[in-house]
Chains A and B, each alone.
Chain A
């Protein structure tokens, strides 16, 4: 059997006679006309995709991205137009998707985990400085308000901007980047808007809008660092930017309070001498600080371990129970004498067909201590969601109900592939039903079921919805939310740590994800190698 398997595994065995003709040959080079046309169409589509990807990269000036896109398109052309790259023709799509959807996100998560990316630290230092300055523009107590008409000298699209301003007394001024001057020979309408002014071109609303970017930077200087800025299309006010960035000292000075905030490029924010920081920071690399933050935290270390134990127990017990229950139902319905099998099967599969999100919420309702179905119907007083062990049982119970139909489906399929004669032969040899099942049916079943069981385990290991929608990780002990709740999985625990309701801490979350990634990878590698061993033994 062993030789048989290696033959189907894809790699030609040692001493295999000749390389078999690969079916893809039909589509390469000298294939049929249809093949050629399909190939041309697909390549054309792919190139279009490439161009579609390059355009925004070009606008953003991202030359590395463009280089990558061009290289990928060139590679695809080479692989599918050359005759010598037959194996690559099969491998390239899979590899590209693997890179795009698996390897790139993992690498990106890893690189994010080394930064302080979070709310208040999303952009660059330049962005932070410009928003600090913009947010510091304050209008004086008794500052003048003007009715604004935006005009230009010359062409509406490129001419220099001029603010035609009317104050409360009806006097009109022209404001340019040089300053304010009296405006003569202007007509002022009833709303205060200038309707005509000699030498200036008045702009329509959409012409003003087209110059939004210029307007943002435009202020008519009025001395002392104050300036008249626009607010909408028809009003302007005098304001004063209280905070200014000085490149020489790499600091922001507040002219109102006299405080100086110095840039701290390690923490990515401006800090005052008393430790007060400006809210707008920027993204910087922080090395392994995010990892240290949880690895060196004693609360984390303690709760991490208990969470991990419960996480494994949860995934293992759900996997075991759905397997036992699914298999038991499958065996029962496999009995040939059974009537109405189709009806039973549909009924059993029903939970699987419903939206699991809605089901979790329904279960949550049923577990309600006072109004829930369980306590009311059974006359119990169990605080399902408030007591640690009851909550654990509740989470497992709901998941077994949701998970066993899938196991049932797989087991039914696998059972049907096992010839009934094997069981009958075992009975002739004198085996009882249990012995026949244990030594004949089960080993054959496990060949099909083992990978599914591993997948179920891995899925439940990270079954975020199951816990988040039922208990949100609770109930919590006396240590509160900083340590894990009784039903917290690693994924819900870390989610709570990294994304509290308002602040998204991407860097920290990424560090925690990297850690979970490592745990799940190690678990998977170990269990996969264990399965191989299992299969060999059974044979």
Chain B
């Protein structure tokens, strides 16, 4: 009997202890969220601080708090979609325009309507890139594309054609000045993002476009004769041909080939500019040259945008933020300070180009570019197409490899 009552006492004591702990907890939580609303923004760590300080003015003007949280850029899309389903997504997040299709089919973002004066201040191609079915789903603020970087000591003039590039590079290689003609990542898995510039020049395509300029997933171009012919043309420079494009050159070593002076040409992006300025190499950038007598090389243009999560508890402020703040040149410029990318807001672009000639040149190198398709089907093409391209560079039959990739992609996107 004695021990039973001891047990009961112990139980009551345990509950009482818990209750005290909880009551403290409760009052703490109660004080916080009463009046002040907090706008939660997800951003990659590189830009988080810049966004935090650039949003301070917005926060003050509207009497709210802004909390910028760090999420690795590659994880944002997946995390937002999962968090949206679980009901704890951020109010606003930063993302790439080619996520649009997937975000839309998961209902994770909210459509945005820009007043015409705001919309007019932004490059229309950029707005088009974050739109699907006539619906604007995010507000773009920067763009980026790949370009050709060359070592001006070795190659003073920008090559007009890919043939010229190979000729200059091969001469340097034969003279023993360099080891490689071109540092362009292929890797064992291929790199369709970079390869698209050459593939499009030689007439290949991934998806067709309909009359409105929307990407048409029913018109898959991977296994078509045009694309096969294009990859056969590229294979002339592959391992069995001139040896300019090789699987052993990959993302891990391409930059060091160029920066150590082992390659005169480098297919680079805005993300390499920082390293280039820090290196001893004298460099200049120009557009990636196309093949002689063929279309100009058309690199993919990627846009970065701010999105508003669907069903956010602060949707009014989140909309206000992306509609009236992200479109503001002051905001874009303060982000540029922290993370120099080419703005798509016309006024900001002009002011930035005046200070940094590279920005203007980079914008020029993207003139022949196309926005990367933003339809969800796009994601299914990377791996099969990349493997096929790597096999072709390695000397495999282009028709066989591309037709196989075509079938794999078609199966995945349900055709």
Question: Which residues of A approach B to under 8 Å, CB–CB?
Answer: 29-30, 36, 39-41, 43-45, 47-48, 51, 77, 81-83, 119-120, 122-123, 127-128, 130-131, 134-135, 137-139, 145, 150, 204-206, 208-213, 215-216, 229-235, 237, 239, 279-281, 361, 364-365, 368-372, 385-386, 471-472, 474-476, 478-482, 496, 500-504
Q: Give every chain B residue within 8 A of A212 (Cβ-Cβ).
A: 312-317
Whether B64 and A371, one on each chain, are in contact in the complex, defined by CB atoms closer than 8 angstroms, is no
Q: Give every chain A residue within 8 A of B167 (Cβ-Cβ).
A: none
Q: Which of B210-264 contact A (CB under 8 A)?
A: 246-250, 252-253
Whether B320 and A233, one on each chain, are in contact in the complex, defined by CB atoms closer than 8 angstroms, is yes
Given A45-B18, A369-B248, 8 more contacts at CB 8 Å?
A: A30-B2, A40-B13, A82-B7, A83-B7, A123-B106, A134-B110, A280-B107, A476-B387
Whether B64 and A43, one on each chain, are in contact in the complex, defined by CB atoms closer than 8 angstroms, is no
A368 and B185 alpha carbons, distance in the complex (Å) = 13
Whether A206 and B64, one on each chain, are in contact in the complex, defined by CB atoms closer than 8 angstroms, is yes
* Stretch among B122-130, B363-371, B374-382 lining the A interface: B374-382
Would you mind naming 22 contact pairs between A and B with Cβ atoms under 8 Å apart?
Answer: A30-B2, A39-B10, A43-B10, A43-B14, A119-B105, A123-B107, A135-B107, A209-B62, A209-B314, A212-B312, A233-B317, A233-B319, A279-B104, A365-B252, A365-B253, A370-B248, A386-B247, A476-B391, A480-B405, A501-B380, A501-B383, A502-B379
A386 and B249 alpha carbons, distance in the complex (Å) = 13
Whether A139 and B18, one on each chain, are in contact in the complex, defined by CB atoms closer than 8 angstroms, is no
Question: Which residues of B approach A to under 8 Å, CB–CB?
Answer: 2-4, 6-8, 10-11, 13-18, 21-22, 35-37, 61-64, 78, 81, 85, 101-102, 104-107, 110-116, 133-135, 188-189, 246-250, 252-253, 310-317, 319-324, 376, 378-380, 382-384, 387-388, 391, 394, 396, 400-401, 404-405, 407-408, 411-412
Q: What is the CB-to-nearest-CB distance from B385 to chain A, in angstroms, rounded to a whole number?
A: 10
Q: Give every chain B residue within 8 A of A36 (Cβ-Cβ).
A: 6, 10
Known contacts A44-B15, A128-B107, A205 near B21 by CB under 8 Å: no
A365 and B324 alpha carbons, distance in the complex (Å) = 47
Q: What is the CB-to-nearest-CB distance from A470 to chain B, in angstroms, rounded to a whole number?
A: 10
Closest-by-CB residue of A relative to B414 is: A277
Whether B313 and A138, one on each chain, are in contact in the complex, defined by CB atoms closer than 8 angstroms, is no
Whether A135 and B135, one on each chain, are in contact in the complex, defined by CB atoms closer than 8 angstroms, is yes
Whether A232 and B376, one on each chain, are in contact in the complex, defined by CB atoms closer than 8 angstroms, is no
Whether B114 and A231, one on each chain, are in contact in the complex, defined by CB atoms closer than 8 angstroms, is yes
A209 and B17 alpha carbons, distance in the complex (Å) = 39
Q: Give every chain B residue within 8 A of A472 (Cβ-Cβ).
A: 188-189
Whether B400 and A83, one on each chain, are in contact in the complex, defined by CB atoms closer than 8 angstroms, is no
Known contacts A138-B134, A235-B323, A216 near B102 by CB under 8 Å: no
Whether A209 and B22, one on each chain, are in contact in the complex, defined by CB atoms closer than 8 angstroms, is no
Q: Give every chain B residue within 8 A of A145 (Cβ-Cβ).
A: 115-116
Known contacts A370-B248, A501-B379, A233 near B400 by CB under 8 Å: no
Q: Give every chain A residue within 8 A of B189 (Cβ-Cβ).
A: 472, 474
Partner of B104, one of A135, A137, A150, A237: A135
Whether B316 and A139, one on each chain, are in contact in the complex, defined by CB atoms closer than 8 angstroms, is no
A482 and B81 alpha carbons, distance in the complex (Å) = 27
Partner of B408, one of A45, A370, A386, A480: A480
Partner of A231, one of B22, B106, B113: B113
Partner of A503, one of B8, B133, B379: B379
Known contacts A51-B22, A81-B11, A30 near B106 by CB under 8 Å: no
Closest-by-CB residue of A relative to B64 is: A206
Whether A81 and B394, one on each chain, are in contact in the complex, defined by CB atoms closer than 8 angstroms, is no
Partner of A471, one of B11, B188, B246, B388: B188
Q: Give every chain B residue within 8 A of A210 (Cβ-Cβ).
A: 37
A119 and B377 alpha carbons, distance in the complex (Å) = 11
Closest-by-CB residue of B relative to A134 is: B111
Whether A41 and B37, one on each chain, are in contact in the complex, defined by CB atoms closer than 8 angstroms, is no
A43 and B15 alpha carbons, distance in the complex (Å) = 8
A25 and B139 alpha carbons, distance in the complex (Å) = 66
Q: What is the CB-to-nearest-CB distance from B253 to chain A, in angstroms, rounded to a whole number?
A: 6
Whether A119 and B81, one on each chain, are in contact in the complex, defined by CB atoms closer than 8 angstroms, is yes
Whether B107 and A29, one on each chain, are in contact in the complex, defined by CB atoms closer than 8 angstroms, is no
Closest-by-CB residue of A relative to B320 is: A232
Q: What is the CB-to-nearest-CB distance from A456 to chain B, in angstroms, rounded to a whole number?
A: 28
Q: Give every chain A residue within 8 A of B404 (Cβ-Cβ).
A: 478-480, 482
Q: Give every chain A residue within 8 A of B324 (Cβ-Cβ).
A: 232-235
A354 and B66 alpha carbons, distance in the complex (Å) = 40
A496 and B189 alpha carbons, distance in the complex (Å) = 13
Whether B115 and A138, one on each chain, are in contact in the complex, defined by CB atoms closer than 8 angstroms, is no
Known contacts A40-B14, A44-B17, A481 near B408 by CB under 8 Å: yes
Whether B313 and A502, one on each chain, are in contact in the complex, defined by CB atoms closer than 8 angstroms, is no
Q: What is the CB-to-nearest-CB distance from B26 to chain A, in angstroms, rounded to a whole number?
A: 10
Q: Give every chain A residue within 8 A of B188 (Cβ-Cβ).
A: 385-386, 471-472, 474-475
Q: Give every chain B residue within 8 A of A122 (Cβ-Cβ).
A: 81, 85, 106
A230 and B115 alpha carbons, distance in the complex (Å) = 11
Whether A47 and B400, one on each chain, are in contact in the complex, defined by CB atoms closer than 8 angstroms, is no
Whether A502 and B102, one on each chain, are in contact in the complex, defined by CB atoms closer than 8 angstroms, is yes
Q: Give every chain A residue within 8 A of B18 (Cβ-Cβ).
A: 44-45, 47-48, 51
Closest-by-CB residue of A relative to B14 is: A43
Q: Give every chain B residue within 8 A of A500 (Cβ-Cβ).
A: 379-380, 382-383, 412
Whether B10 and A40, one on each chain, are in contact in the complex, defined by CB atoms closer than 8 angstroms, is yes
Q: Give every chain B residue within 8 A of A83 (Cβ-Cβ).
A: 3-4, 7
Whether A480 and B107, one on each chain, are in contact in the complex, defined by CB atoms closer than 8 angstroms, is no
A138 and B134 alpha carbons, distance in the complex (Å) = 7
Whether A503 and B380, one on each chain, are in contact in the complex, defined by CB atoms closer than 8 angstroms, is yes
A423 and B78 alpha carbons, distance in the complex (Å) = 60
Whether A43 and B11, one on each chain, are in contact in the complex, defined by CB atoms closer than 8 angstroms, is yes
Whether B246 and A237, one on each chain, are in contact in the complex, defined by CB atoms closer than 8 angstroms, is no
Q: What is the CB-to-nearest-CB distance from A78 to chain B, in angstroms, rounded to a whole number?
A: 10
Known contacts A206-B62, A209-B314, A480-B405, A120 near B376 by CB under 8 Å: yes
Nearest 9 CB-CB pairs, A to B? A502-B379, A131-B107, A44-B17, A29-B3, A43-B14, A232-B320, A370-B248, A480-B404, A205-B62
A43 and B18 alpha carbons, distance in the complex (Å) = 9
Partner of A137, one of B111, B312, B411: B111
Q: Give every chain B residue within 8 A of A45 (Cβ-Cβ).
A: 18
Q: What is the CB-to-nearest-CB distance from A20 to chain B, in angstroms, rounded to a whole number?
A: 21
Closest-by-CB residue of A relative to B412 is: A500
Q: Give every chain A residue within 8 A of B380 (Cβ-Cβ).
A: 500-503
Q: Give every chain B residue within 8 A of A209 (Cβ-Cβ).
A: 37, 62, 64, 314, 316-317
A120 and B35 alpha carbons, distance in the complex (Å) = 36
Closest-by-CB residue of B relative to A283 is: B85
Interface centre among A135, A216, A369, A474 (most CB of B within 10 A): A135
Q: Give every chain A residue within 8 A of B11 (Cβ-Cβ).
A: 43, 77, 81
Known contacts A233-B320, A386-B394, A44 near B313 by CB under 8 Å: no
Whether B319 and A232, one on each chain, are in contact in the complex, defined by CB atoms closer than 8 angstroms, is yes
Q: Give every chain B residue within 8 A of A230 (Cβ-Cβ).
A: 316, 319
Q: Give every chain B residue within 8 A of A279 (Cβ-Cβ).
A: 101, 104-105, 376
Closest-by-CB residue of B relative to A504 is: B78
Closest-by-CB residue of A relative to B134 is: A138
Q: What is the CB-to-nearest-CB distance from B252 to chain A, in angstroms, rounded to a whole number?
A: 6
A371 and B260 alpha carbons, distance in the complex (Å) = 14
Known contacts A211-B316, A212-B315, A503-B102, A474 near B10 by CB under 8 Å: no
Partner of A480, one of B247, B316, B388: B388
Q: What is the CB-to-nearest-CB distance from B192 to chain A, in angstroms, rounded to a whole number?
A: 11
A233 and B61 alpha carbons, distance in the complex (Å) = 12
Q: Give every chain A residue within 8 A of B252 (Cβ-Cβ).
A: 361, 364-365
Q: Give every chain A residue within 8 A of B62 (Cβ-Cβ).
A: 205-206, 209, 233
Closest-by-CB residue of B relative to A123 is: B85
Q: What is the CB-to-nearest-CB distance from B328 to chain A, in angstroms, rounded to a whole number?
A: 12
Q: What is the CB-to-nearest-CB distance from A168 to chain B, in angstroms, rounded to a whole number?
A: 10
Closest-by-CB residue of B relative to A233 is: B320
Q: Give every chain A residue within 8 A of B112 (Cβ-Cβ).
A: 231
Q: Give every chain B residue within 8 A of A43 (Cβ-Cβ).
A: 10-11, 14
A239 and B112 alpha carbons, distance in the complex (Å) = 12
Interface centre among B37, B111, B376, B384 (most CB of A within 10 A): B111
Known contacts A206-B35, A232-B323, A472-B188, A29 near B388 by CB under 8 Å: no
